[in-house]
Structure 1
Amino acid sequence: MQRLTISLSDELAQAFDEWMTRRGYSSRSEAVRDMLRRELGEDNLASEQGGPCVAVLSYVFDHHERQLSARLTGLQHDHHDLAVATMHAHISHEDCIETVILRGDSGEVESFARSVIAETGVRHGQVQLIPVKPSASTGLGYRKKSGR
């Protein structure tokens, strides 16, 4: 492990300490490590390299919208390799919320999420991509070497 030293203005240091407290961090080091992991992971996913990820797609939709529930279910079935699980809840007489856990290549996951959010009747859609390391056990980003 390497030790890094940074200089911050008094105002920025105070704002950082307050942010840490609100987020429940007891250590500046752990807070900085988490911030760096998040930024570097997002940067990697945004680059052309993409890479394996897991994601949470959440959206609110009007279940009275003509055939919307069937279209959303159809999209998930068409991308069963990406959609791991779905939770559905009724939040009012008209509105439902769904949360879909996704897993796969970040480009494919993001494309699928955008297609769901773009459906007529879907509102407040958001996707959060989380980079993961390639893994033989999950198959994410893992390419079996040819040969022996």
Structure 2
Amino acid sequence: MSDQVQDKLARLGVSLPSKLLDELDTMISERGLTNRSQVIAELVRQAVTKHAAVEPGAVLAGTITMIYQNNKGYIRNALAQTQQHFIKETISSQHVFLEEDHSLEVLLVQGTIERLNDLCDQMRAIRGVHQINLVTTRTLLPPLHAHGDEPGEILSKKKGVK
């Protein structure tokens, strides 16, 4: 590990019941991870993100994963109209057809937690939508461009590239 990365790490001591520690070690082994720190850091990140998600006005990036019936045209139309209503929050979408007349769609989103929850709630209310799952992170997408900027100009300004 480089000195630069080590400087950014901090040590933490954790006491756990022995049964829970055994379960953690089993999970680490089954997932093929090399140490407990990876899992603990992941769990802490998830807890911090979940905490930020309840903070009013918190801006988060994430994905919305949906499974819905694709044999009824009104469902795709209603989903498209809902996404259009949330155009500022919807960055992109990926759609695939599943078996048994179902579709899986994943939206890449960014916005306030209130807007993202509203988007999920409105899509969840569409008859034929079976599952919706929102996963968020506090790490945001970089700005791609602002009105009047050439694509990539903001990123090159941020990095000091001319």
**TM tier relative to shorter chain:** 0.7 to 0.9
Secondary structure at 1:116 match in 2:
helix
Which TM-score applies when normalising by structure 2?
0.74
Distance 1:24 1:127, change over 3 A: same
Q: Report the counterpart of residue 133 of structure 2 in structure 1.
A: 126
Do structure 1's residue 42 and structure 2's residue 54 form an aligned pair?
A: no
Alignment correspondent of 2:85 = 78
Task: Point out which structure has higher relative CO (alpha carbons under 8 A, 6+ apart).
Answer: 1
In the alignment, does 2:58 pair up with 1:51?
A: yes
Distance 1:117 1:43, change over 3 A: same
Instruction: Name the CA distance, whole Å, in 2 between partners of 1:17 and 1:109.
Output: 35
Asked whether the equivalents of residues 61 and 140 of structure 2 are also in contact (C-alpha less than 8 Å), the reply is no
The answer as to whether partners of 1:61 and 1:123 remain within 8 angstroms in 2 is yes
Gaps of 5+ in 2: 1-8, 147-162
Instruction: For 1:36 and 1:129, locate their aligned partners in 2 and report how far apart those are by CA, in whole Å.
Output: 14
Q: Extract structure 1 runs of 4+ deviating beyond 3 A.
A: 133-139
Q: How does 1:21-36 map to 2 (within 5 A)?
A: 21-36=29-44
Aligned partners of 1:64 and 1:72: how far apart in 2?
Answer: 14
Query: Quick one: distance in 2 between partners of 1:63 and 1:123?
Result: 11
Q: Offset at 1:104?
A: 1.3
Q: Contact 1:55/1:109 (CA < 8 Å) preserved in 2?
A: no
Q: Which residue of 2 aligns with 1:3?
A: 11
Q: Output the CA distance in 2 between the equivalents of 1:68 and 1:124.
A: 13
The SS at the match of 1:60 is: strand
Matched to 1:27, the amino acid is N
2:132 alignment partner AA: G
Partner of residue 118, structure 2: 111
Question: Aligned pair count?
Answer: 138
Check 1:61–1:2 CA distance in 2 against 1; reply closer, same or farther (3 A cut). Answer: closer
8 Å CA contact 1:52–1:132 kept in 2: the answer is no
Structure 1 vs Structure 2 CA RMSD: 2.3
1:69 corresponds to: 76
- The structure that is helix-richer by fraction is 2
